[in-house]
Structure 1
Amino acid sequence: MSDPRLTPDPARVVRRDPAQIAVPLTDLCRTPEGPRDRQFLYGDAVTVFSEADGWSYIQAEKDGYCGHIRSGDLGPLAAPTHRVSAPATHAYARPDIKSPDRLGLSHGSRITVSETLGTFARTSLGYIPSVHLTPVTELAADPAAIAALYLGTPYLWGGNSRWGIDCSGLVQAALLTCGIPCPGDSDLQASLGQNATGPYRRNDLLFWKGHVALVTDADTLIHANAHTMSTCYEPIVDAIDRIQASGDGPISAHRRIASLSG
């Protein structure tokens, strides 16, 4: 049986129009006005299948996720030149840090830069500090280092941004920034890489029922979790014992992505 998260509903597919997210952050909802499944960031590319009553039924390019978002949060598809590589940034009214900030953008947002003026990049949103941007063609190499950018981020079920993120959102952000395809939910992520045994290695993935964490060294992991309501480091042994005691069982999978095994 096909997964409805990743397979468009034929009854809702009446066209296939390219578009992108045109606001800093938007919820992907299971149904119009329904619960949040995931979130999308500014510049995320989507295909619009239909629209009704202010809601569009779409599929995301980055992970194939389908669902409903508010139509007003969409705009014309543009070719991104850069992504936000800092944990977060601001777009300013002028190339001046004392000018009004127009909006905030999370790590991973995809931006089209028209020109560089001193230490600022000019975009349709305003002027963004160039130091906070990286060309989209330049991929990171260490997912654990990307995950560390989210340290202290509040835990948010279905969250995908610096303003709030969950366990699978953190892993997806880390892997996508390194050019590694990654679905949006932990049950789907458990198929990544290969089963691993022996000592934990940096960038291994550890899974429990409904939870995923990223190994940073043989003794430590990083994860977005509801225990601390944040993204934090935790000793692996402590996490195993705590999660077992909470009733969510032992580690269900230990996965290693070949390109990151070193």
Structure 2
Amino acid sequence: MDRRVTPYSGRVAHVSLKGRISAPLTEGRSGRIVVPLADLRDKPGGARDRQLLMGAAVTVIDHEEGHLFVQSRRDGYCGWVESAAVGEGPEPTHWVAAPATHLHTEPLVQAPETASLSLGSQLAVTAFSGAWAQTPQGFVPLCHLRPIGQWAPDAVSVAESLLGTPYLWGGNSRFGIDCSGLVQVALHATGCDCPGDSDMQMEMGRPLAPQEGLRRGDLLFWKGHVALVVNPDVLIHANGATMSVVCEGIVEAIRRIAEAGGGPVLARKRPG
């Protein structure tokens, strides 16, 4: 079983694994990420696998050393987060559609900010004050939000809004992102499901026949890497060569990655 999507902490397992694993079982409890960004780690205080954004729904399965073992409700990814990152709150009504935004203490441009939020974060809007949305965490410019269900029409445009974002292994936000994080954030913003890592993403969608040309929104996969097609000649990806999100010529990228030891393109997929 792939530990990344297996709700088993090493001590306690979710009831969905009944009959498949010998361990105490729990139904867990529901929670939400209540901090702007939470690292999802392979063990308490361990290496970052992925990140969860504010408002993400999780199932809490175990606890240890100030950490909680959780499973993301959206993509099934499992790992340990700091206990303070999980709490309870109202069902989100809106998502952050801008690359990033701030929470403010008052509905004023001049009001102090208390936190920064990345694209894809989810908030419960409780009231409106002119051009501002009020949430339990503070005020957010309404122009940066969309109602949940009102998704972006184009994943590539979402990815392009993150151009220049610094590369961060396991990152899922405007403040740092990796190749699979960029694809997941972009597809989630269009309302599409998407797993967290590139090897999982390579299993989704329809393989393109050898004679089929690339079109906007297609995915190119290498071993351990993925990119979105902007047009038949250009891709966009978060990469370690520039340590950022950039657009790059497809032919040039394929050559550069091969010369760097990354191997050939392994798959061409069309999501949906």
Q: Is the pair's TM-score, using the shorter chain for normalization, greater than 0.5?
A: yes
Q: Does the 8 Å contact 1:63/1:181 carry over to 2?
A: yes
Q: Is residue 37 of structure 1 aligned with residue 36 of structure 2?
A: no
Post-superposition offset of 1:150: 0.8
Q: Does the 8 Å contact 1:28/1:67 carry over to 2?
A: yes
| Cα distance in 2, alignment partners of residues 77 and 241 from structure 1 | 49
Post-superposition offset of 1:141: 2.0
Matches within 5 A, 1:163-242: 163-197=175-209, 198-242=212-256
Report the counterpart of residue 123 of structure 2 in structure 1. Answer: 111
Deviations 1:14-62 (A, max 9, x none): 4510000010011000001110000011001000011122110100011
Q: Does the 8 Å contact 1:21/1:44 carry over to 2?
A: yes
Deviations 1:53-85 (A, max 9, x none): 211010001110011000111110421000000
| Cα distance in 2, alignment partners of residues 28 and 137 from structure 1 | 26
Report the counterpart of residue 8 of structure 2 in structure 1. Answer: 9
Look up the SS of the partner of 1:37 in the other structure: strand
| Cα distance in 2, alignment partners of residues 174 and 66 from structure 1 | 21
| Cα distance in 2, alignment partners of residues 243 and 254 from structure 1 | 16
Report the counterpart of residue 268 of structure 2 in structure 1. Answer: 254
Q: Does the 8 Å contact 2:44/2:64 carry over to 1?
A: no
Deviations 1:80-132 (A, max 9, x none): 00000000001111100101111110000000000110000001111100000
**Across the two proteins, how many residue pairs are aligned to each other?**
257
CA change 1:6–1:48 in 2 (3 A) is: same
> Out of 82, 85, 94, which is 2:106 matched to?
94
Structure 2 residue ranges without an equivalent (≥5)? 14-25
TM (normalized to structure 2)?
A: 0.92
Report the counterpart of residue 80 of structure 2 in structure 1. Answer: 68
| Cα distance in 1, alignment partners of residues 197 and 89 from structure 2 | 25
Report the counterpart of residue 258 of structure 2 in structure 1. Answer: 244
Report the counterpart of residue 131 of structure 1 in structure 2. Answer: 143
Look up the SS of the partner of 1:247 in the other structure: coil
Look up the SS of the partner of 1:103 in the other structure: strand
Q: Does the 8 Å contact 1:108/1:173 carry over to 2?
A: yes
Q: Does the 8 Å contact 1:12/1:57 carry over to 2?
A: no
Q: Is residue 140 of structure 1 aligned with residue 157 of structure 2?
A: no
Q: Is residue 159 of structure 1 aligned with residue 136 of structure 2?
A: no
Superposition misfits of 4+ residues, deviation over 4 angstroms: none
| Cα distance in 2, alignment partners of residues 78 and 66 from structure 1 | 23
Look up the SS of the partner of 1:86 in the other structure: coil
Structure 1 residue ranges without an equivalent (≥5)? none
Q: Does the 8 Å contact 1:85/1:107 carry over to 2?
A: yes
| Cα distance in 1, alignment partners of residues 100 and 188 from structure 2 | 17
For the aligned residues, what is the CA RMSD?
1.0
Identity %: 49
TM (normalized to structure 1)?
A: 0.96
Q: Name the amino acid aligned to 2:176.
A: G
